[in-house]
Chains A and B, each alone.
Chain A
Amino acid sequence: MSLAADLRVIWALGGRAVKQTMRRPQLFAPIIVFPTLLLAIQTGGAGRGVDLPGFPQVNGFLDFILAGAMIQSTLLAANSGGIALAVDIEMGFTDRLLAAPISRYAMVLGRLAGTAVLGAFSAIWFIVIGLIFGAQIDEGVPGAMVMIIFVTLSAVAFGGIGAAVALRTGKASVVQGLFPLVFVILFLSSAFFPANLMLEPAATVAQYNPISFIVEGVRDPVISSLSLNAFAKAIGSIALVGAISVGLSAFALRQRLRMGG
């Protein structure tokens, strides 16, 4: 198989994944509707938290929490992507792909490409929503570009985990069961509140959680000037999560192929 042919397969499967998500409310709602509602409610509900001693200097709570909403959305997009892949396995669509003369890895990369597009869409959506409702991105357009790139890369990294579970189990209900785990990971990070103002033991966990580093990398251009430290930590965390998740996906795919699809 040539690289051009693989790219065509990834393009086609990525496009299919995006259309599939947009057409099914049960896949689309958790990615955009749910995080948007939570963003609006938490901004109004916990907005006075900025008055607490130790809260970082921000123009408003929306500036702070915007990055958390984006990462929440990408984690849920990854979960939705995993569910859709598991449904493909259950319905026999994956078997048909396996019988086709295409690269096995292009099948998974196609799904991840779709998740990446949804991640980019989510980043743009939340930037627009944020700007409409008064958020200020201190680093301007370059800062917004960095946010979109970080969120898109995160979507691929998280998407690999959803894909790995789908490939390993082949059951949509099992991947669906990861949904609450998304919130456990988020609540144990600085996605919604500064780690130094959280209660123990969550505060300590949040200080070492890679999701915190990713969120802070996305948040940095909004609330301050982009720093090399935050940038490096975010890229490093995305690379770490991505390496683990893509490795797990490759392993799960090999296992599935060995067992006969």
Chain B
Amino acid sequence: MSVGWRADIEMIAALVRRAANELLRVPGAAIPGVLAPTIFFLGLTSVFGHLTLLPGFDSSSYQSFLIPISLMQGAGFTGAATGVNLARDIEQGWFDRLLVSPAPRSVLLAGLVISASLRSLIPAAVLLVVGFALGVSWPGVGGLVMAVVIVMGMGTLAALWGCALALKFRSQSAAPLMQAGMFVLILTTTAYAPLALLTGWLHTVAKYNPATQIVESARQGFVGGVSWGDTWPGLLALAALMAVLAAFALRGMRRTAY
């Protein structure tokens, strides 16, 4: 391993440690990312649970049908929070100090998104415990691995989106946009019901929204078996969205002067 690579990895590890320290020192910071998707999971299953009685609904348990959405929401909130934290660091001048370090901008970005990706496992763990306690079907090892991969991918995606916006607006007042972006991406899919049961504009949007493929990949283990045919479209959509948002975030990084 060359010295440059080692330094890059050390820098990423330092940024991940800093994010972890924040969690240890301000444990309350993780609460919104955990609480909001848990409340939505409990609330939406209570409110819309009888939708499973509709002909064509492909699951008899609304909890099992909805859990991947809540997992993705948790990752989305957590990832977006990384963007808000970056905006705070920009406002307070701490980010300027990072920019004058010899680390490449891509390494700084990697440190931020990797920490978000790991952090997104916290709401996922809580949601899975709550979900299994309330009767969510066991997805099998394959289904669980798939769900974890999607959660970490969504955490990364949301962090890239949040960082791109933080670098553009350089203010925490962009926080609602960071959260709303993920909210819209995840909920304009087959979040509430299978595609055949969606109505109006949402049916059309969900059909073409790449996040629908990601939702279906994460959902497959909870409502049936895991198959490669249901897995690869989700992974491909996730990779494509990550590539696009990474390009935007890197562009923002490169344009940021110190």
Stretch from A12-20, A192-200, A219-227 at the B interface:
A192-200
- For A42, the closest partner residue in chain B by CB is B192
With A37-B183, A47-B200 known to touch, is A30 a contact of B176 (CB < 8 Å)? yes
**Residues A52 and B50 in contact, CB atoms below 8 Å apart:** yes
Q: Interface residues of B: mostly helix, strand, loop or mixed?
A: helix
Which residues does chain B contribute within 8 Å of A49, judged by CB atoms? 48, 50-51, 54
Stretch from A81-89, A97-105, A179-187, A247-255 at the B interface:
A179-187
**Residues B49 and A199 in contact, CB atoms below 8 Å apart:** yes
Q: Count contacts on A: residues with CB < 8 A to the other chain.
A: 34
Q: How far is the CA of A30 from the CA of B176 in the complex (A)?
A: 8
Stretch from A1-9, A21-29, A135-143, A146-154 at the B interface:
A21-29
Would you give the shortest CB distance from A248 to chain B, in whole angstroms? 24
With A44-B202, A44-B203 known to touch, is A187 a contact of B39 (CB < 8 Å)? yes
Q: CB within 8 Å of B: which of A165-221?
A: 180, 183-184, 186-188, 192-193, 197-199, 202-203
Q: How far is the CA of A30 from the CA of B173 in the complex (A)?
A: 13
**Residues B200 and A44 in contact, CB atoms below 8 Å apart:** yes
Q: CB within 8 Å of B: which of A24-65?
A: 24-26, 29-30, 33-34, 37, 40-49, 51-52, 61
* Cross-chain contact of B51 among A43, A46, A184, A186 (Cβ < 8 A): A46
Which residues does chain B contribute within 8 Å of A192, judged by CB atoms? 47-48
Q: How far is the CA of A61 from the CA of B45 in the complex (A)?
A: 18
Would you give the shortest CB distance from A35 to chain B, in whole angstroms? 12
* Cross-chain contact of A186 among B43, B177, B199 (Cβ < 8 A): B43
**Residues B53 and A33 in contact, CB atoms below 8 Å apart:** no
- For A134, the closest partner residue in chain B by CB is B200
- For A181, the closest partner residue in chain B by CB is B39
